[in-house]
Amino acid sequence: MNLYKSFSLAVCALALAACDSDDVLDDSGNVPPASESQLPSRLFVLCEGLMGSNTANLEYLDADSSIYYANAYVNANPGTVLELGDVGNDLQYYGGKLWAVINGSNKVEVVDAATLKRKGQAEVPNGRQVAFDGGFAYVTSYAGPIVDKATGEQRGYVAKIDTATLAVVDTLHVGRQPEGIVALDGKLYVVNSGGYATPAYEQTLSVIDLAGFKREREVAVAVNMQHIRADRYGRLWVNSIGNYNDIAPTLCCYDTRSGQVETWDVPVSAMTLQGDSLYIVSSTWDVTLQRSIPASAIVNVATREVVSRNMVDAAVLDAMVPYGVAVDPRTHDIFVSDARDYVSPGLLYRFAADGTLKSKVSTGNVPGHLLFVE
C-alpha cells in the first residue's frame, strides 16, 4: 500500500516542520561594563510601548560615543519574565538608582543606574510619576477610592515608598487622576488632571506637607495639568493640556511664595529644566487641519520670558511627533524623541545647543521619557 506509506511519510515531514520556535529576545546592543564615571554621559530613554503590548523598555545613549544601547534593560536582566512591563510612564534618578513608573504593570521598577540590574519593584497600581525627598519616593496613582458611586468619581493618591525597602509605608488621597509630582521646600506639589471625567477636568494643585504627610490645601492653577517642574526661585512650572476642544494647551508658572499664577500660550508635551532654561517640545492637535502640529520653545525661568519658539531646526521638527526632551548638562546638546505613529519604533534626535541637527537614532516603541543623571 504505497499510499499508506506516503501518508506516514507526510506525517513525519510535518512533525519535523513543526519543531518549536519561540519568540527570541532581541539582544542587539549589549550592556557595556558598568562604571559610575560613565553615568554623566548616559541619556536614559524610557520607551512607553503601547498599552497592553508589554513593550516598555529602558534604553540609553552614550552621548560621548553616540552608541545607542537598544534594549539595555532586557540585556541586563534577560531572565525577567515579561521584561520591563506595560507602559513606562515616568523615569527619575535617586541615590544611584533609576526609578521607572510602569503604569500598566502596576509597579515602580528600581534598577541600578550603572549596571541596569534590577533591584526590585514597588507595587503601585496605575502609577503615574515619581518624586523623592529624604529617603522616600512619592508616586502618584489614579487608583484611589471611588467616592461617588453615581458618577464613578475616583480620587487619586500619593504612595510614600521607603527607598531602602521598596515598601509602601503610607498613602494620601489627592484630587482626581493626579499626574506630575515635585518636592520643594518641605512640601510636595501634585497636579490633578481629572483626565477620566472629560470634560469636567480638575484645575488644582494639591499641596502636601512632607513632614506630616498631610494634605494642606488645593490651589487652582489651570485645567487638566500634567507635568510639574520646580525652579530655584520657588516657582513651579506646570503645563495644562487644555480640553482637546476650545481650551488651548498652556504653560503656567505658580509662585509658591506669592501665590501668583502666570500663563503663556506655549503648548507642552514634555519639558526639562536645565540651569535657568526650560526646554519644551509639544505636539498639538489642530482641529481645523486635523493633524498634530509640532512645536518647541525655551523659557527663561529667571526672567519668566519665552526666549525662543524655535529651540531646534523647525524643518526637522516638522517631520516629528516630539514626545520627550532632555539637555546634556555638559554640552547643552538638545535631545528630542519622536513617537512617530506610536506603533512603529521611535527615534531620538540630537541637536547642537544652537538647534542644528547632529544625528538621529532608532529607539524602542514610543520613547517618552529622557533623563540625564547629574
Partner 1 sequence: MLPLALAVSAQSMVERDSLLPTAYIVGSQRRATSPRQSLSGQQLRAFDGHSVANALRYFAGLQVKDYGGIGGMKTIDVRGMGSTHVGVFLDGMPVANEQNGQVDFARFETDGLERVELYNGHRTQLLQSAREYASGSTVYLESRRLDPHFTGSRLTLKCRTGSFGRIEPSVRWERRLAGGMTADASGGWLTAHGRYRFHIRKRFPDGRVAYDTTAVRVGGDVHALRFEANLHSAPHSRAQWDIKASAYGSERGIPAAIVNNVWSSAQRQWDATAFVQGRWQRSWSTSRSAYTLRLSAKGGVERLRYQDPDTTRMPTDRTFLQPQLSLSAVQALVVSEGDAARPRLELSFATDYACNMLRQTSRYALPPDMLQQPVRHTLMVACAAGLGWQRWRIHAVALETLTAEEAGTPSLQRRSQDFSPALHISYRPAAGVALRCFAKRHQRRPTLNELYYTETGNVRLLPERCWQINIGAEAGRSWAAGRWQFSGRADAYMEWVDDKIIAVPRGSGGWRWLMMNVGRMLGRGCDVSCRLSWQSSPRLPLLTAGGNYGFLRAEDRTDPADNDPHYGTYGGQIAFQPRHAAGVFLGAAWGGVQLHYSFTCVGERFKSSANLPSDRMAPWQTHDVALLADIPFLRGVQFGAECCNLAGRQYAIVPNYPMPGRHFSLTLKASFPFL
Q: How far is the CB of 22 from partner 1 (least distance, A)?
A: 5
Q: Is 67 in the site for partner 1 (CB under 8 A)?
A: no
Residues 230/184, Cβ–Cβ less than 8 Å: yes
Give whichever of 57 and 256 is closer to partner 1, judged by the CB atom: 57
Q: How far is the CB of 262 from partner 1 (least distance, A)?
A: 19
Q: How far is the CB of 42 from partner 1 (least distance, A)?
A: 21
- The one-letter code for the residue type at 285 is W
Q: Is 88 in the site for partner 1 (CB under 8 A)?
A: no
Q: Is 171 in the site for partner 1 (CB under 8 A)?
A: no
Number of residues that bind partner 1 (CB under 8 A): 86
Pick the binder of partner 1 from 46, 58, 61, 70 (CB under 8 A).
70
Residue-wise DSSP of 32-82: PPP-GGGGGGEEEEEE---TTS---EEEEEETTTTEEETTHHHHH-TTSTT
- For residue 311, which of 344, 337, 334 has the smallest C-alpha distance? 334
Pick the binder of partner 1 from 156, 178, 194, 364 (CB under 8 A).
364
The alpha carbon of 363 is separated from its chain's Cα centroid by a whole number of angstroms, namely: 15
Encode 73-98: b = buried (16+ Cβ within 10 Å), e = exposed: bbbbbeeeeebbbbbbbbbbbbeebb
Q: Is 321 in the site for partner 1 (CB under 8 A)?
A: yes
Q: Is 33 in the site for partner 1 (CB under 8 A)?
A: no
Q: Is 213 in the site for partner 1 (CB under 8 A)?
A: no
Q: Is 357 in the site for partner 1 (CB under 8 A)?
A: no
Pick the binder of partner 1 from 92, 140, 204, 226 (CB under 8 A).
226
Q: Is 125 in the site for partner 1 (CB under 8 A)?
A: yes
Site for partner 1 in 259-278 (CB under 8 A): 267-270
Q: Is 356 in the site for partner 1 (CB under 8 A)?
A: no
Q: Is 59 in the site for partner 1 (CB under 8 A)?
A: no
Instruction: Give the Å distances, CA to CA, from 351 to 227, 356, 361.
Output: 23, 5, 12
Q: Is 71 in the site for partner 1 (CB under 8 A)?
A: yes
Strands 146-148 and 153-154: antiparallel
* Cα 359 to Cα 45: distance, rounded to the nearest angstrom: 16
Residues 34/44, Cβ–Cβ less than 8 Å: no
Give whichever of 92 and 239 is closer to partner 1, judged by the CB atom: 239
- Return the SS3 of 113: coil
Give whichever of 103 and 256 is closer to partner 1, judged by the CB atom: 103
Instruction: Give the Å distances, CA to CA, from 346 to 49, 50, 292.
Output: 10, 12, 16
Site for partner 1 in 144-163 (CB under 8 A): 145-146, 150-152, 154
